[in-house]
Protein backbone atom coordinates (compact mmCIF):
# COMPACT_ATOMS: atom_id res chain seq x y z
CA UNK A 1 0.00 0.00 0.00
CA UNK A 2 1.42 3.38 -0.97
CA UNK A 3 2.15 5.87 1.78
CA UNK A 4 0.28 9.15 2.16
CA UNK A 5 2.89 11.25 0.34
CA UNK A 6 2.79 8.89 -2.65
CA UNK A 7 -1.03 8.93 -2.73
CA UNK A 8 -1.07 12.73 -2.49
CA UNK A 9 1.47 13.18 -5.28
CA UNK A 10 -0.36 10.68 -7.48
CA UNK A 11 -3.69 12.45 -6.94
CA UNK A 12 -2.17 15.84 -7.77
CA UNK A 13 -0.40 14.41 -10.84
CA UNK A 14 -3.53 12.63 -12.10
CA UNK A 15 -5.93 15.59 -11.87
CA UNK A 16 -5.74 19.10 -13.34
CA UNK A 17 -7.51 20.60 -10.33
CA UNK A 18 -7.57 19.03 -6.86
CA UNK A 19 -9.11 20.34 -3.65
CA UNK A 20 -8.01 18.70 -0.42
CA UNK A 21 -10.92 19.56 1.84
CA UNK A 22 -12.94 18.62 4.89
CA UNK A 23 -15.84 16.65 3.46
CA UNK A 24 -16.64 16.37 -0.23
CA UNK A 25 -17.71 18.87 -2.87
CA UNK A 26 -21.25 17.54 -2.48
CA UNK A 27 -21.16 17.63 1.32
CA UNK A 28 -18.48 19.98 2.68
CA UNK A 29 -17.89 19.70 6.42
CA UNK A 30 -16.41 23.10 7.15
CA UNK A 31 -17.14 26.63 6.01
CA UNK A 32 -13.74 27.21 4.43
CA UNK A 33 -13.91 24.00 2.40
CA UNK A 34 -17.49 24.84 1.44
CA UNK A 35 -16.49 28.28 0.18
CA UNK A 36 -13.67 27.03 -2.06
CA UNK A 37 -15.67 24.06 -3.37
CA UNK A 38 -18.59 26.41 -4.00
CA UNK A 39 -16.46 28.85 -6.01
CA UNK A 40 -14.98 26.05 -8.12
CA UNK A 41 -18.38 24.44 -8.68
CA UNK A 42 -20.05 27.76 -9.55
CA UNK A 43 -17.27 28.51 -12.04
CA UNK A 44 -17.83 25.12 -13.67
CA UNK A 45 -14.39 23.77 -12.79
CA UNK A 46 -13.99 20.01 -13.10
CA UNK A 47 -12.08 19.19 -9.91
CA UNK A 48 -11.18 16.20 -7.81
CA UNK A 49 -12.08 16.43 -4.14
CA UNK A 50 -10.16 14.61 -1.44
CA UNK A 51 -11.87 14.31 1.94
CA UNK A 52 -9.07 14.63 4.48
CA UNK A 53 -11.45 13.65 7.28
CA UNK A 54 -11.65 10.14 5.82
CA UNK A 55 -7.92 9.47 6.22
CA UNK A 56 -5.80 10.90 9.04
CA UNK A 57 -2.59 10.09 7.13
CA UNK A 58 -3.78 12.20 4.18
CA UNK A 59 -5.02 14.96 6.52
CA UNK A 60 -1.56 15.37 8.06
CA UNK A 61 0.26 14.32 4.90
CA UNK A 62 -1.13 17.15 2.77
CA UNK A 63 0.01 19.69 5.36
CA UNK A 64 3.50 18.19 5.22
CA UNK A 65 3.44 17.93 1.42
CA UNK A 66 2.64 21.62 0.91
CA UNK A 67 4.25 22.94 4.09
CA UNK A 68 0.91 24.72 4.63
CA UNK A 69 -0.84 24.26 8.00
CA UNK A 70 -4.50 24.55 7.02
CA UNK A 71 -7.17 22.89 4.92
CA UNK A 72 -8.61 23.33 2.31
CA UNK A 73 -5.73 23.30 -0.14
CA UNK A 74 -6.14 23.89 -3.86
CA UNK A 75 -3.79 22.51 -6.52
CA UNK A 76 -3.97 23.45 -10.21
CA UNK A 77 -1.90 21.46 -12.72
CA UNK A 78 0.41 20.31 -9.94
CA UNK A 79 0.92 23.78 -8.43
CA UNK A 80 -0.15 24.54 -4.87
CA UNK A 81 -2.35 27.65 -5.02
CA UNK A 82 -3.39 28.13 -1.40
CA UNK A 83 -6.29 27.92 0.99
CA UNK A 84 -9.62 29.63 1.40
CA UNK A 85 -8.39 33.21 1.93
CA UNK A 86 -5.98 33.07 -1.01
CA UNK A 87 -8.53 31.48 -3.35
CA UNK A 88 -11.15 34.04 -2.30
CA UNK A 89 -8.76 36.95 -2.92
CA UNK A 90 -7.68 35.51 -6.27
CA UNK A 91 -11.31 35.04 -7.32
CA UNK A 92 -12.28 38.60 -6.45
CA UNK A 93 -9.18 40.15 -8.06
CA UNK A 94 -9.43 38.11 -11.28
CA UNK A 95 -6.12 36.37 -10.60
CA UNK A 96 -7.85 32.97 -10.46
CA UNK A 97 -9.25 33.53 -13.97
CA UNK A 98 -5.75 34.36 -15.23
CA UNK A 99 -4.33 31.26 -13.54
CA UNK A 100 -6.96 29.04 -15.16
CA UNK A 101 -6.36 30.73 -18.53
CA UNK A 102 -2.58 30.30 -18.22
CA UNK A 103 -2.90 26.65 -17.16
CA UNK A 104 -5.50 25.79 -19.80
CA UNK A 105 -8.24 24.91 -17.31
CA UNK A 106 -11.79 25.38 -18.60
CA UNK A 107 -14.11 27.54 -16.49
CA UNK A 108 -17.06 29.88 -16.86
CA UNK A 109 -15.80 33.45 -17.22
CA UNK A 110 -19.41 34.63 -16.86
CA UNK A 111 -19.72 32.85 -13.50
CA UNK A 112 -16.42 34.35 -12.31
CA UNK A 113 -17.69 37.81 -13.28
CA UNK A 114 -20.95 37.16 -11.38
CA UNK A 115 -18.98 36.28 -8.21
CA UNK A 116 -17.06 39.55 -8.48
CA UNK A 117 -20.22 41.57 -9.17
CA UNK A 118 -21.96 40.04 -6.16
CA UNK A 119 -19.02 40.96 -3.92
CA UNK A 120 -18.40 44.47 -5.28
Q: What is the DSSP string of 12-50?
A: HHH-SEEEEESB-SSSBSSHHHHHHHHHHHHTT---EEE
Tell me the CA end-to-end span of the chain in Å, nearest whole number. 48
Q: In the prediction, which pLDDT does 7 show?
A: 95
Range of the structural domain that residue 27 is part of: 4-114
Residue 74 DSSP class:
E
Q: What is the mean pLDDT of residues 106-114?
A: 97
Question: In whole angstroms, what is the distance from residue 52 CA to residue 12 CA?
Answer: 14
Annotated binding-site positions for [2Fe-2S] cluster: 30
CATH of the domain at 73: 3.40.30.10
Percent of the chain predicted with pLDDT > 90: 98
| 14 within domain boundaries | yes
Annotated binding-site positions: 30
Percent of the chain predicted with pLDDT > 70: 98
Confidence check: pLDDT of 15 > 60: yes
Into how many domains does the chain fold? 1
Mean of pLDDT over the chain: 96
Amino acid sequence: MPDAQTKIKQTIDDNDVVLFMKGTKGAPQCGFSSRVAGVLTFMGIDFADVNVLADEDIRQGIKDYSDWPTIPQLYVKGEFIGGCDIVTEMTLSGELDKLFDDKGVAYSKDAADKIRAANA
